[in-house]
Amino acid sequence: CMETIQKDNIEVPRCGHIICKTCYETIKAQPEPKCPVCRKNY
């Protein structure tokens, strides 16, 4: 993702990594969502 992360588009999965809201929504829609940084399950 090349989107600039700002306060209004931040999501933090259970692992604590910060990703943009657009990526978070895309990943959450997958059958087995994983953090794009550490690959832990959401």
What's the CATH number where 28 sits? 3.30.40.10
- Could you tell me which residues come within 8 angstroms of residue 23 by beta carbon, excluding any fewer than 6 positions away? 1, 3, 11, 36
Q: Indicate the pTM of the whole model.
A: 0.68
Q: What is the pLDDT of residue 6?
A: 79
Domain assignment of residue 2, given as a range: 1-42
Average pLDDT over every residue of 17-33: 89
20 has pLDDT over 80: yes
- Report pLDDT for 32: 93
Stretch 3-30: mean pLDDT: 84
Domains in the chain, number: 1
Task: Report the pLDDT averaged over residues 8-36.
Answer: 86
β-strand 10-11 against 19-20: which pairing, if any? antiparallel
